[in-house]
Structure 1
Amino acid sequence: MSAIHDGRRESATPEGSATLEGFDHASGFHCGSTALRGLAERYGWTCSGVNGPTCSETICFGLGEGIGFTYFTPGSSPDRAFFGRSPGLETTFLDRIGVAYDRRSGDDWARTRDRLETRLANGDPVLLATDVAGLPYFDTDTHFAPHRVLCVGLEDGRDREHDRGAAGADRVALIADNEFDDVKRVPLTTLRDAMTDDHLVPIRNRTTVVTDPEPEQPATDRMGAATVEAAIAATARSMLDPAAASGPSGAAVPDGSAGPDGSAASAVAAVTGIEGIRTLAADLPQWVDRSEPRWTARLAAQNVDSRGTGGGAFRRPYASFLERAARVVPALPETAPDRMHGIADDWSRLATTFRRASEAETDAELSTRLAEASRRVRTIADREERFWRRALAALA
């Protein structure tokens, strides 16, 4: 069995242990930012000086410009969906602190498996994009992707009945997932299916691995005024004018997703930022005429207040980041954290409306609930636009 420890292949703690030797895993509010926190702890990336604490999940989320919005058409049911985070959170954070990494997508499984084995043998966790329906420990057939996890080790397959290595048994990946405090075991053949499922968005064996863990940015600057200002300003620009935003923040669809045939997604699928929120508001009354509108509403509620959002469509953890940011950025309005908490509350109230729509007993009741949701979304769009314009003006 191999696991990560000081850059070498080492034996892990006994089976059933909550953590692997050399890699301390704990659950978190979001898959991507939990993975970044795990990498920060693995490589010792501090955010307040050389001897300071490693970057928290909230800091990783904020510096990675985690807030976003994309309204899109998935490749299968539901036929309308949205995400409240930016598509480039993980690589944006790595870029911001100046860490070199290798990101791959579209390779066949043989190359992907070789990369996993090589990088893990070198002591590097590998960030994977998966579909939760393919991960057996979730015990669900509901597709949700991309769900990011860290692969932190490999072990030989075992004959469970006799507790010994079985000849030809599939190797097992050790997976650190934000939804669980313990590291999960997933056979590589099963992981392969979870990494190639295109039901919601294409993920196609997407991996990211740090190639040089020494950040270019000094530790004292990572939560300095200039860095934090740049992260908040870039987030504001991506919400107000995503087409003009540079880097991952301006991406049109989640992680480069496409239509079911691999072509570019439709116009609805590509609407982002404040415009995406307004498009959702305008489209909601028509959901009643689409396929499976109650299922679509149910997943919409989950995408606001569960499924790893931290609450309020990711706005609640971002408000916590702003509380920290206000200590180092004098130009940031002191009311910004409270206003973002208020926006998060608006999103949570919207989730309640979506849940009620999903439980509507008649189409008339469903139409009423969707109309109410539309009004709430329109109010959220107005409030978010005011927030981001004020923040950008203050930082300018």
Structure 2
Amino acid sequence: MIFNNFGSSYISILIVTFLISSLWIHLKYVSPCFLYFLDILIAIPAYFINTAIPSVWDSVRFATMLNLFRGANNIYGISGGLNWALNSSGYYPGQPVVVVYVWLYSFFRNNNVFFYCNILLFLFLMSLLIIQVQKIYKFSNKISLIVKFIILMSFNIFFEIEGVRNFLSYIILATFVFIDFNSYKFRTKILCILAYCLAIGLHPAALPFVLFRIIFILKSKLIRMVLAVCAATYTVLLPQILQLFSSFTYFINDDSKTYLFGQTTYNAYSDFPEILFSTLLLVSLILELLIFCKCNFKKLISKNYLQYYMIAILFTIGSCLSVQVYLRSIFLLLFLSIPIKMFLFSEYKNNILNYSIIYFYKYSSVIFSLIMLFYWNWQTYRHVVMC
């Protein structure tokens, strides 16, 4: 690579792709699918990360897994290699979806193909969500492009490159929750159910949000109010909930329970600046929602989707004492906020007050996302060595 760290490579790619796409969208008959082409370019730095250098990042563990799975395939054959990966490797016991997902990439000789394809899948799913919102509400390519880059700047994409499964699980969940609430077709509903199962299979942290969606099948306002209270007091109520459903939680392995509980100390896996900036992101999402409601956009979006998003916010606030759950959930909110962002960036004019608020929102959102990008570069990106 021309650049020796992930930060300089990734930021340069973002600038180049934004300039290319800014010119591209002014051409006639440009399909919203141009976002997929941008994803192919944006994912390139992930291919060149150096996992050979020892570090605390999960990317080293996944590279080791791929090497072991590849060796097992050579010794035992394809079926024997898969059986060894599932039952004897010691990696992710009780989580076969994760093992199979990683094992599939062991057929490539280069481990970096895994990291590239994984982040590409993540970006494709994000683009799918944006395109679905654009299709339903008739937004322009310009709005889709702006929101796409705001999300990419606000999100620490290396968390997905190194962790592989958590945020892939969340983007699957966010995409198909939106599709689910905006479709009444039977085949689409079945597809969404399969997507929810896949999300849970990739990472147990998706489980509470899938349970929220199941409860939303019930139309009762009282039930949803109770759900809101439970979500807002998640950390306090979780031990009692697990005790109440002890027969069910018997089938949940210890690692999964750890993901549900999270960490009870802010010294675990996170430092104060990360918690601070992530919390600022949460505050910005809450303010964004208030502006959205103030400008009466809530009448235009799916009522169920908006209520689900509010429950997710309450859950995130309620999990603040469990740092792992709290920080991860903020990024799920970021993905779920995509439809709201696209409404607020649309050409909307109602009265002078609302127009002024939205005008301020647009510029402050761009500035804040740039601040987040520079922070993630300082905290993480610049420390990641490239091949």
* TM-score, reference length from structure 2: 0.24
Bigger fraction of residues in strand: 1
Structure with larger RCO (C-alpha < 8 A, sep 6+): 2
* TM-score, reference length from structure 1: 0.23
Bigger fraction of residues in helix: 2
